[in-house]
Amino acid sequence: MSRRTPVAFLLVICSLLLAIALGACGDDSLSAEQLRARATAICTRTAAATDRIAVPARPSEGGAFLAEGIAQLRVAARRLAALKAPEDLRERYDRAVELAGEEVALIARHERAIASGDDVIDTFRRLDDELEPLTVQEDAYWRALEIPRCVRR
């Protein structure tokens, strides 16, 4: 046996032991209860923050209203996306988070339209019409996941 054989053998053994140790750690997903608790906390904080945003008294305040809401919703969407759902909930959870991101993008698009000079009232009407089917879908996922605090409407 050459001198390299024992060293190579030791490297293989060390590699196998490391792989086994890492595999035993499992993935870093949350339990269903942890996911629900953390998502509920995120949505509760976001709801409190968005409830504090002053409703516009004049159409000229509509863009700022949306911008403030977007800031809060983006933070929530990032925090929700950072949570790793357990395997049995992952597909539904990821879809709910994806829809939340689409909601933020839709609101941001309408905020930019107002900033570009579009009529505020007409833009809010379009936004409401476009948000409806999106929030219906998103809310269904949050309900199915048993995370009602994330339901928007």
Please determine, for residue 12, whether its predicted confidence score (pLDDT) is greater than 70. no
Q: What are the tokens at 27?
A: 């993935």
Please provide residue 117's backbone torsions phi and psi, each rounded to the nearest 5 degrees: 110, 0
Reported as a single tens digit per residue, the pLDDT across 73-130 is 999 999 999 999 999 999 999 999 999 999 999 999 999 999 999 999 999 999 999 9
Count of Cβ atoms closer than 10 Å to residue 107 Cβ: 19
The predicted-structure confidence for 37-84, as pLDDT tens digits, reads as follows 999 999 999 999 999 999 999 999 999 999 999 999 999 999 999 999
- DSSP letters of 96-151? HHHHHHHHHHHHHHHHHHHHTT--HHHHHHHHHHHHHHHHHHHHHHHHHTT-GGG-
Q: What is the reported pLDDT for 130? A: 96
Give the predicted TM-score (pTM) of the model. Answer: 0.80
Share of the chain above pLDDT 90, in %: 80
pLDDT at residue 22, as a whole number: 45
pLDDT of residue 152: 83
- Which pLDDT score, from 0 to 100, does residue 14 have? 45
Closest of 92, 94, 47, 50 to residue 68, by C-alpha:
50
